Structure formats: structure tokens, C-alpha cells
Amino acid sequence: MPCQLILALDLPDRETAAPLLRRVRGSVPWVKIGLQMFTAYGQDYVRAVAGDGFKIFLDLKLHDIPNTVAKAVESLSDLPIGMLTIHASGGREMVAAAKASAPPGLLLLAVTVLTSMDAAGLGEIGVAGSPADQVLRLAQLSVAAGAGGLVCSPLEVAALRSRIPPSVRLVVPGIRAAGSGANDDQKRVLGPAEAARLGADYIVVGRPILQASDPAAAAASMLAALAAV
């Protein structure tokens, strides 16, 4: 399967998102709805965006005791979503409980290490070793517990591809356009084509598109980069 683009709809309100969605409809297949938009507008907004023809990646990064996460996944089971995130650091039992509650066809994604974290940040919360080591540890735990996909930075894709089953989907944020500078709080980043070549199944792109002078053109550029791989 060719690597696909997911547009991260990390915007302040639905009024800002509406014209952008109109311009990329038919070219960008997936939209990521995260905490910002979900807490503002709830399940009805998910249904509305799906009704406009987009596949939905609901990025809530659920992390709690196993029973609570299982009930949360169950409460989302009627939504038209194709992907849902949980935190791998919740542990094997939590991942397994989420998987058991997920409806058929929902790709449950375990978030390994946030792309905003580096070795220094991990050290501050008591995690010894490199981000790559922690990503691999959490990835193997999550896959064993039933997660069908992982969220990781592009820098860990190659290592994961050599260590996990090929059926496991890799969803990769931390993508920036070629020639761009530092990407705010994203620390472990790479370009779209490079991530695809390494084995990413999906790339998640927000600010490089949302903050572009012509977001639709920026999205088209990302799609062209993926098509050329």
C-alpha cells in the first residue's frame, strides 16, 4: 500500500477548518481530529467531517486504567472512525483491554514516544536510554497486546520495520516539508518522501500545511512527494 497523507486538523475552530477541508476534499483522504477539536465540538464534529467524505483518524491518546480506557473505546464505537490512538505507556493490560473493546475494522494505534520528546525529555520523567530504545520497547509490548498499528517518529520507522510484523501499520507524525526549518516543538522529524521510503504507511502533517500561505498547494506538494516514492 502506498504511503498515505493524513491532514492534522489542529486548528482553533471549525470555522477556520471549513474552507481548508473544502479545498483538499477529494485529494487528501484522511483527516486527523485531535483533542483540541474533539473537546470543542465532540462526536457531532467527527460525524460532520466524515460526512464530507473524509476518513477519520481520531487522535485522543487515551491513557488510564484498563477498564476506563476500554469503556472509553466502547463509547466511541458508533463513530465513523478508522483509527484511534491510545498511549502504549499505559501498559500491556491497558492496550489489550482497548483492543478487546474496539469494534471490527477500527485500527487501534499505540502511541510510543511523542515526537516532541527527546532523550533529555525522557530522562526528566525517569526513562533511561534513547527515544529509539523506548519506542522499540513500547512497540513490541503493544503489538503483543493486540495493537494493529503504532505511532512513532520517522526516525524510528526503519528499526521498527525490521522488528515488527509487516501487517502492523506505522503512522508517522513529525513530518516537515523539504527545506523547512525547525518545526516548533517537534524534535524528531523527517521529510515526507524519506519517511515513506523507510516504511511509513501514513504520514501525519499539520503545521507545514496549515501554516502555509497556500495550504491546498502545500498538501498537493506532500501528495506529489509520496507519489514519487
- The interaxial angle of helices 35-51 and 14-24, nearest 10 deg, is 40
The full DSSP string for 156-187 is: GHHHHHTTS-TTSEEEE--B--TT---BTTB-
Residue 61 annotated in active site = yes
Of 61, 71, 99, 187, the catalytic one is: 61
DSSP conformation class of 88: G
Only one residue has cell 506538494, namely: 221
The Cα 86–Cα 60 span in angstroms is 7
Cα separation, 11 vs 95, whole angstroms: 29
Q: Which helix (H) or strand (E) holds 40?
A: helix 35-51
Residues acting as catalytic residues: 61
